[in-house]
Structure 1
Amino acid sequence: MVLDDDETGPAPAALMGLNMLVETRGGYNYTHAEYRTWLEEAGFTDIGSTPLAAAGANAAIIARKRPYTS
């Protein structure tokens, strides 16, 4: 479940975030921007997301990693 960048929705992701805080130590749902930042720092490009209408998932984060060349 991926949160919008303002962390207010979509509702299922926000509710899952609340559940994570209640059920786990330091549990948290992350935003599109947080995933983008981490992927960029790891050298990924062409970062985007595809919306999903699935139980327990609202998006697939997709990125490309260029092959290592020396």
Structure 2
Amino acid sequence: MTATKPWYFSRTIWASIITVATGAAGVTGLPIDAADGALITDTLLQSVSAISGLIAILGRLSAKDRIG
């Protein structure tokens, strides 16, 4: 595995964050099913992808220098 990607594109990181969050929610008395955790993970990944795409577009539009 030689390719790298930002941490926020990692399904493992997001699934781990959701696992910790659902565990904490369970401790506080808010029950969350495992299926809900998977749905939350997918939703967050799609949101992060959309936001990072918008940031890339806005960054390119506001850039002062050419790519080259």
Q: TM-score, normalised by structure 2?
A: 0.27
Q: Which has the higher helix share?
A: 2
Q: Which has the higher strand share?
A: 1
Q: TM-score, normalised by structure 1?
A: 0.27
